Amino acid sequence: MQIVKTAIAAALATLAFSASAMTPIQDAELSTVSGQDGVSIAANLNIKIDSFVYTDTDALDANGMGGGSVSFNGIKVNGLIAANIDILSKNSFLAAAGAAGVTNPGTFYNPATGGDVVQIAIPASVVADGHYLNVSVDAIKMGNSAASFGSVAMNQIDMRGTTVWIFAH
């Protein structure tokens, strides 16, 4: 019985190795293979923050003045954002950084020994009109007051053309 188990195990192992074996591809077949570089990411943001509070911790003076706080309540960020992710060679990165107005990339990247760079870019053609980021604050209050100074909104925040680079050092 042990011999049968060993024979079955050997047959299964041989089958597994032959199924996963790499086979060479001829140039004619390789020329028909196509692919794309990079990765695209899109997100419809819906971020809510209960409040942002600024507190002045100065001690009260003789007249009871000083200290206090202001709170921004009901903060929301929403809208469409999309990005392309690519790997740039050192030379491509230095050219892209120069085109972006970076006059001295040596302050954060070593041009002599630096390697590839991950580029995250928000392209101009991805965001449809009317689908930009929006930020709003429902109420602005002083201290513990229930009264509000009103609200504030920043609409149509256009981040197209923004580029971020990530690299090891």
Residue 26 lies in a domain: no
Residue 17 lies in a domain: no
Total domain count for the chain? Answer: 1
Residue 56 lies in a domain: yes
Residue 98 lies in a domain: yes
Host domain of residue 103 = 38-168
- The model's pLDDT over 109-139, given as tens digits with 9 standing for 90+, comes to 888 888 888 888 877 765 555 567 888 999 9
Q: 0.75 cut: is pTM over it?
A: no
Residue 24 lies in a domain: no
Residue 162 lies in a domain: yes
Residue 84 lies in a domain: yes
What is the Cα–Cα distance from 13 to 11, expressed in whole angstroms? 5
Residue 50 lies in a domain: yes
Q: Classify strands 133-142 and 152-157 as parallel, antiparallel or unpaired.
A: antiparallel
Please give the pLDDT value at position 149: 85
